[in-house]
Structure 1
Amino acid sequence: MRRTITYLLLCCGAWLGSNRANAQSVEIADLHRSLPYAKDSLEYVDMLNQLGMYHHLGNADSCFWFAVKAREIATRLQYKKGMAGALKNLGIFYSQKLNIQQAIAYEQEALELYRQAGDSANVCHILNNLSIDYEESGDTAREHDYLRQAMYAGSRLDNDSMFSLVLSNYILEYGSDSTRQDSVQWAYQKLQAITARYPYSREWLYAKMFEAIELVKDGRGRQGEQLIHDIADTAIQKGFLHLAIAAYFRIIDDFIPLGYNADSMVYTARIFRLAERAGYYDIMMSVLPSLYRHYAGRQDSRHTAYYGNAMLQLARHQLGLRKSSQEINYMRYFLKEQEMRSLQLQNQVQRQAIEQSNLQQANRRLLIWGLSGLLLLLLVVAAVYYRFYRASWQYERRLAAMNITIAEKNRQLKANDDFKNKLISVVAHDFRNPLNNIIRMAALLQSRSLSREEMMRIIEQVETASGKTLAVFDSILRWIKSQLSGFVYAPAPCPVNAMMTDARQSVQQAAAEKQVSIAIEVPDDIQVAAEREMLQFAHRSLLHHAVTLAAQQGRVVITAQEAAGAVKVLVTVPQVIAGTAMSGHLFGYRGTAYYQQHKPDDAELALIICRDFMDKMGGHISARREGEGMVFEYELPSFH
């Protein structure tokens, strides 16, 4: 009986919710009297729709008749709200006649119109009805989807009485689902909170029915049955006969299945009497057969005759309605409507085809003129473009030639600038120690009274240092001259031991002052393929850096290893000065931006030049920490 109960409470709820104290029959009579006095056609359509809604329980054919009339007038007036109301009534009518697919078709059309009109309450109502119809059609997925949409729409309504109807439908749908008891309980609490604001209203009475069911579940069936009686009595007093019928259906549909012992025929008889009183012929027809069979089986002639006569009278009534002037063949109406829509669609398609043909002809003419003008314009643009393109092409050729020339000059300037920086570093690095020695000795000569032997010894030292300086200068000068004519790398055999021994002389004075010993443990026969002056500059730079880092009275050990056609030379400082900050990339290239902000010292620049020289000679150079010391290492191809 869930479908009957749902339509008793939910389908009529939207129209009846606003007049809480009047009986339905009074409202129907008032509307019939008011029809001739409608202010305008729109109000007349609304009255017809409201009458159709009121009649859907007592006389479905009247509901259909009012819906058809309302729709005809609303369509002629293009009154969308009236059209939607008529479609909603037609959907309810076809649903009662169990033509579910037709009902869904009308309700979907009504839903679209209500959405266009922004009527949230009726959108919620239609969504709720669609959920019920899809349940009847067996489409559970769509049933639940529309119920979910109705719950969402109802929660956003200002008129929460409509939301209470959706909550009721939700409880009816999921009340027996053990996986949804939390949400059902929430819906029940929400329903109670809403209806508490409208005591003794339809919604409040309906919420009390769920309260009665909860009492039965808790084992207090007598209290629940008494609550149902109170609800039915109150509903009858207020003229809400449909609610009294729904209350008695709760005992049949819910109490008895839960195990409560009640006489279903007693309540079925009450439902029949109330339906007879209200004119709900469909409900009367649904309960009469079971009543008649029950009393016939018990051989109760009085009640059997009563209900048999009621069945006869009801059949005559229905037959009389079919023969009345208001009778409309709803199936034929539906088919004719579909046929009319098909003809209208064909007519519209033909008109659109004619209009499109005319439009295409006009467009063709316009297109021909447009294309002609466009072709002429394109010819003019092409001529102008070709002229500018030719001038631009010549300009780009000249510009490209100038860019190539400028790039070549920039490359030469950069090369010259790099060479100048390296030249300055080489001169500053290789001449610093000899010149410092000469200056220091000259200061000694000026500041002290020396004997002839001491003076001669110092002069000999100055002469030796000057000779070394000149030798270094001569060596650097030859290297500079080779660079000015363009660098061409021509590797030559370079004995590592001999070159390291010669380079050691450049740092001998600094090593003596720190008492640092320099041990060269390189076999005499190891030779590398390199450019001599570039390699010797690297040797002097490495030894200078090693002596600088070495601790007082420390050692510098030079070793070499030859393997796989390459020679690896290591300058090891076993112990460096305590607290010295070692760079993780002594030979790394930091970029131009770094050197614009941090001007490197001569030693750092010398090591960078060493890296460049090693790259040009096909080798590489690096530095690493090893315990408390430091290891400088370079590798070059072996000369065979």
Structure 2
Amino acid sequence: MGAKAQMAEVRKLQQGLPKQTDSLKYVDALNRIGLLLHTKSADSTFFYGIKAKAIAERLEYNKGRAEATVNIAIALTLKGIYNQGLIYYIEGRNLFLKEGLKEPATELLMNIGISYDFMGNNKMAVKFAKEALDEAKHLKRDSAVSMLLVNYVNLDYSLSPKAVTKYLDSAQKIADKYHDDRTILFLKQVKAHDEIVAKKYKEAYNNITSSIKMARAHEWEYHEMEGLYLLAGYYKKRNSIDSAIKNYQTIYTMALKNNYVYWEVEILELLADAYKQKNNTTEQLRLNKLLISALKKSNEANNSFMGDYVKYNQTEQELSKYKNDYAHKREEMIWLIGLLVVIVSISIWLLSLYKKSRKHEKELELLNYKVNLQNDELHHADEFKSRLISMLAHDFRSPLGSAISMMRLVRDDDDLEKDEREMLYNSIETDMQNILLTFDNILQWVKKQMSGFVYQPETLPVNQLLDEAALMFK
């Protein structure tokens, strides 16, 4: 995407921010704007990064937080604050890994390596670059691997020409596979640099001009400036100072237009050096004045940025302290709540035990009552049995004994007259009937005793009952 297209997208995103109702998409838009602006204004990238990060943290949106953190890291790196940039790159990588986003996490390993290279620690730079390549082997998609390979070649100076060719060829195949024009362009420029060093000027020139043509076709002004920078270096190697100056001036014009302050300073220094070779002191003085102005502007921007960063860092530290205090208090609160829950649970348990105990006591009382009731019933039943036996012994034994005696008399006494025998038989019959009647009465009484007393008044023939009772004693 070229500078014009980038700025068009930035303006579109900025205009859409007030209308954005989805908070997560709002964070994504801020991050996209910050990333698009990083080659133009590190300050803007930093501003959008901290704004997006604050919102993402509040929303607990880790992907947005990771992208915002990376934008802050990019801004710090562009400003030369490499140590802090590394911290944010590592934080961003951890957030990506937490969300399972392995591809951007792997790319950040390479960014960390590049940052170490800026700091002059090439050993660490190569270490992280190799780790990035090792992780890239396990990615589902290899589209990001091509740029990793190119960056690795740029970082590891110990690679043999054969190894460099191998890595660049692999990167070329992947870039061609995915039609990754940006990586293809970058490959051309990397190859051109190596070809200039190897004095393969024809091949270098072809790759440089091809990359510039591709950059212009895509309106990638930043990459066009890099191509022009290589072309100027090519002309310097060929001792064509005027051609080198022409390309440096083109870069300077583009840097002024797009406010690339760090490009302004470097190109002015190179132009001054080129005019020095031409012994053009007038142009040297003019360029030195411009350089002083550019350095002043750069320092002012850096000082302003540093002030903003210091404030932001202080705010971050205060926020971190607040979060730690909050976490500590929250932990204490959790412990207190836990203790309260335990106390309440124990109280409920004790209350439950008490209720169970009371219930058990009542059950025992009821059981004792039932046992006592059954004992009373058994006692009454025992009394009833005794009375029944007594009644049976009294009301049946005597009549039966009398009847048996009369039957023996009839059996053994042959001298009895017929009338006497008849009388005895009648007497025995009467006794048997009385016994049967008594048995029926006792049976009725037993039934009433067993079924409980029920009051049922009835009219009885008293005279008849007395006569029947008297007969038992005749």
Superposed, 1:574-613 pairs within 5 Å as none
CA drift at 1:97: 2.2
* Deviation readout 1:588-624 (Å, 9 max, x if unpaired): xxxxxxxxxxxxxxxxxxxxxxxxxxxxxxxxxxxxx
Q: 1:57 to 1:219 in 2, by over 3 A?
A: closer
Q: What residue is the counterpart of 1:344 in the other structure?
A: 323
1:289 counterpart = 2:261: no
Identify the residue that residue 41 of structure 2 maps to in structure 1: 59
Whether 1:114 and 2:96 are equivalent positions in the alignment is yes
Aligned to 1:329: 308
AA aligned to 1:53 is L
Provide Cα deviations, 1:52-104, integer angstroms capped at 9, x if missing partner: 11222211111111111111211121111111111001111112222222111
Match of 1:305 among 286, 291, 307: 286
AA at the equivalent of 1:151:
L
1:123 aligns with one of 105, 124, 130: 105
State the partner residue of 1:225.
205
Secondary structure of 1:58's aligned partner: coil
Q: Does 1:166 align with 2:148?
A: yes
Give the alignment of 1:348-363 within 5 angstroms.
348-357=327-336, 359-360=338-339
CA–CA distance in structure 1, aligned partners of residues 108 and 302 of structure 2? 28
Against the structure 1 CA distance between its residues 369 and 299, is the aligned structure 2 distance closer, same or farther, given a 3 Å change threshold?
same
**Structure 1 residue 332, shift from structure 2 partner:** 2.0
Task: Provide the C-alpha distance between the structure 2 equivalents of 1:101 and 1:129, rounded to a whole number of angstroms.
Answer: 13
Letter in 1 for 2:27: V
Summarize the alignment of residues 372-451 of structure 1 with structure 2, pairs less than 5 Å apart.
none
2:84 alignment counterpart: 102
Q: Tell me the equivalent position of 1:70.
A: 52
User: What residue number does 1:195 align with?
Assistant: 175
- Distance change (3 Å), C-alpha of 1:26 and 1:332: same
CA distance in 2, matches of 1:327, 1:177: 36
In structure 2, the partner of 1:445 is: none
Q: How far, CA to CA, are the matches of 2:250 and 2:285 in structure 1? A: 16
The amino acid across from 2:319 in the alignment is M
Question: Closer, same or farther in 2 for the Cα pair 1:142/1:349, shift >3 Å?
Answer: farther
Provide closer, same or farther for how the CA distance between residues 158 and 310 of structure 1 changes in structure 2, counting only shifts above 3 A: farther
SS of residue paired to 2:18: helix
Give the structure-2-normalised TM-score.
0.63
Alignment partners' CA distance in 2, 1:302 and 1:45: 48
Structure 1 residues 144 and 250: CA distance shift in structure 2, 3 A: same
Asked if 1 retains the 8 angstrom alpha-carbon contact of 2:265 and 2:291, the reply is no
| Aligned partners of 1:198 and 1:204 also within 8 Å | no
SS in 1 for 2:208: helix
Letter in 1 for 2:174: I
- 1:291–1:307 CA contact under 8 A, matched in 2: no
Which stretch has the larger CA shift, 333-342 or 24-33?
Answer: 24-33
Pick from 252, 270, 275 the counterpart of residue 272 of structure 1: 252
Q: Any unmatched runs of 5+ in structure 2?
A: 350-474
| Deviation of the 1:305 alpha carbon | 2.7
Query: What's the offset of the Cα at 1:146?
Result: 2.1
Between structures 1 and 2, the one with greater strand share: 1
Does the Cα contact within 8 Å between 1:63 and 1:93 map onto a contact in 2? yes
Partners of 1:216 and 1:321 lie apart in 2 by 34
Q: Distance in 1 between matches of 2:147 and 2:319?
A: 36
Aligned partner of 2:220 in structure 1 is 240
In structure 1, C-alpha distance between the alignment counterparts of 2:117 and 2:64, rounded to whole Å: 27
The 1:215/1:309 distance shift into structure 2, 3 A limit, reads closer
Q: 1:316 to 1:95 in 2, by over 3 A?
A: closer
| Contact 1:57–1:282, Cα closer than 8 Å, also in 2 | no
Shift of 1:328: 6.3
- Provide the aligned length of Structure 1 versus Structure 2: 348
Q: CA deviation at 1:131?
A: 1.2
- Measured in 2, the distance between the counterparts of 1:300 and 1:140 equals 38
Q: Work out whether 1:30 is the aligned partner of 2:30.
A: no
Does the residue aligned with 2:35 lie in a helix, a strand or coil?
helix
1:337 is matched by which residue type in structure 2?
E
Q: How far apart are 1:312 and its partner, in Å?
A: 2.8
Q: Give, as a single letter, the amino acid of the residue that structure 2 aligns with 1:62.
A: S
Distance 1:255 1:82, change over 3 A: farther
How far 1:20 moved relative to its partner? 8.4
Distance in 2 of aligned mates of 1:289 and 1:233: 26
- What do the CA deviations read for 1:557-598 (whole angstroms, capped 9, x no partner)? xxxxxxxxxxxxxxxxxxxxxxxxxxxxxxxxxxxxxxxxxx
Q: 1:92 aligns with which of 64, 70, 74?
A: 74
- Cα deviation, 1:133-188, whole Å, max 9, x if unaligned, reads 233345555433321232133344455442221111011012x315x544432211
CA shift, 1:348, in A, is 1.5
Q: Alignment partner for residue 206 of structure 1, among 186, 195, 219?
A: 186
Deviations 1:343-366 (A, max 9, x none): 321231133134325535765897
Structure number with larger C-alpha Rg: 2
| Letter matched to residue 351 of structure 1 | R
> Quick check: 1:212–1:227 contact (8 Å CA) kept in 2?
yes
Letter in 2 for 1:334: N
In 1, Cα distance between equivalents of 2:97 and 2:104: 9
Is the contact made by 2:79 and 2:302 (CA closer than 8 Å) also made in structure 1?
no
Shift of 1:320: 8.0
On the 8 A contact 1:268/1:287 being kept in 2, the answer is yes
Amino acid at match of 2:226: A
Paired residue secondary structure (1:269): helix
User: What is the alpha-carbon distance in structure 2 between the residues aligned to residue 286 and residue 20 of structure 1?
Assistant: 22
Aligned equivalent of 1:508 = none
The one-letter code sitting in structure 1 at the alignment partner of 2:144 is M
Distance 1:78 1:88 in 2: 17
CA distance in 1, matches of 2:29, 2:307: 20
SS in 1 for 2:219: coil
> Per the alignment, in what secondary structure is the counterpart of residue 118 of structure 1?
coil
User: Structure 2 counterpart of 1:308, which letter?
Assistant: K
2:26 maps to 1:44:
yes
Aligned partners of 1:226, 1:183: CA distance in 2, in Å? 22
CA distance in 1, matches of 2:40, 2:2: 19
Distance 1:267 1:358, change over 3 A: same
SS at match of 1:128: helix
Aligned AA (2:59) = L
The letter of the residue matching 1:238 is H
Of 162-171 and 23-32, deviating more is: 23-32
Whether the aligned pair in 2 keeps the contact of 1:91 and 1:102 (CA below 8 Å) is yes
Could you tell me how far apart the structure 2 residues matched to 1:305 and 1:255 are? 23
CA distance in 1, matches of 2:180, 2:99: 32
